[in-house]
Amino acid sequence: MSLAIPLSIRTSVRPLLSISVLVACMVTLLPLPTYAAEQQAFGRVTVPHGETHEKVSTAVGDVRVNGSVEDDVETGHGKVFVDGPVGGDVKSAVGNVVVRDTVGGDIRAGVGNVRVDSRVEGDVDVSHGNVFLGPNARVGGDVECGNGRIQGNTAAVQGDMRAGMASGVDSDDGASILGFFGWMLLTLLFAACTVLLTVLAPGTLSSVTRNLERSPGRSLLFGVVSVPVAVILCVVLGISVVGIPVLILLAPAYLAFVFFGALVTAYFVGRRLLFATGRHRGGNVLAAVVGAVAVSATSLVPFVGELLVYALALLGAGATIVALMNRRRSRPGYGPYGPYDPYGPYAETRRG
């Protein structure tokens, strides 16, 4: 199965790119709040030496604190460098965090490594990444890694140290067992949702899966492009007061859309695995279960597991976008599953 992106993608992706440019211009032209020097949507934020800011945050961009910050330091996507005292928390959803001065609150990172070489009054919590403790590190609370290692001066931690399956510290067997059963429970729920989709919407699932098989590269591209488009729309709606009610609906709707993409990819992977093993007559339910377990298992891959799951979800979401765009151009004269559909609920019956 080739991953090459067809030449027609240049024309098909133009609407999404046009929307991105339009919304970016809206963000640029909209008036920013009076505290834009400390809080902004995009771009790098720096607190100069000798200055004190109340709070620092940015949606996309790096943050460097050379002066001091009284409250929190936050970034959605970017690195954080703390070379001056911070009174509150230091947070980064995606990006590394380097702390060389006192932090009065917690350090929280979603995806990225955290390096501490100073006093941290609260906890250090990393969902997916490593924690490096320097010789001058002092952590008053706990240090926890969902999937990573705790290295360096571990004696500096006054609280507990907990890590996941890829831990670099000693963790009790009970925590590992609980983590494994938690993964099993989430996998069962994910498989149940995939099976439910094959029962409730077999035609829609089949149509989207066909587009995923025919244009995997195109589907991935559309899925990736949907992320900045959604982020920009959320920022615009958040800045404008009238758009806040729409934002409340848009954010969960996009998350549901990405989750639907994960279900599509799980079904697609399950069908491919059944065909590869010669069990293509196993049916859609078996394909849904096998695919859900396979996709969920990728989250156990050290360091990149969660990113792989997210990429697979975007792959299915992009295939959904392609299916919607091709819906008007579909050729008449065929049934709901097209001239030949190896993924339809009655595919095995037609083969017989």
pLDDT confidence of residue 284: 85
pLDDT confidence of residue 175: 42
H or E segment and range at residue 159: none
Domain boundaries, the chain: 9-27+174-351, 38-171
pLDDT confidence of residue 98: 93
pLDDT confidence of residue 342: 52
- Start-to-end CA distance of the chain, whole Å, equals 26
pLDDT confidence of residue 247: 76
Query: Rounded to 5 degrees, what are φ and ψ at 50?
Result: 85, -5
Query: Rounded to 5 degrees, what are φ and ψ at 211?
Result: -65, -35
pLDDT confidence of residue 282: 67
pLDDT confidence of residue 42: 63
Mode of pairing for the β-strands spanning 73-77 and 90-94? parallel
User: Running along the chain, 352 residues long, what does each successive block of 10 average in pLDDT?
Assistant: 42 47 45 46 81 85 90 87 93 89 91 91 88 92 86 89 58 48 83 91 88 90 89 79 77 88 92 82 84 87 77 91 79 46 48 44
Left, alpha or beta for 149 (phi > 0: left; psi -120 to 50: alpha)?
A: beta
pLDDT confidence of residue 105: 93
Q: How far apart are CA 126 and CA 106, in angstroms?
A: 11
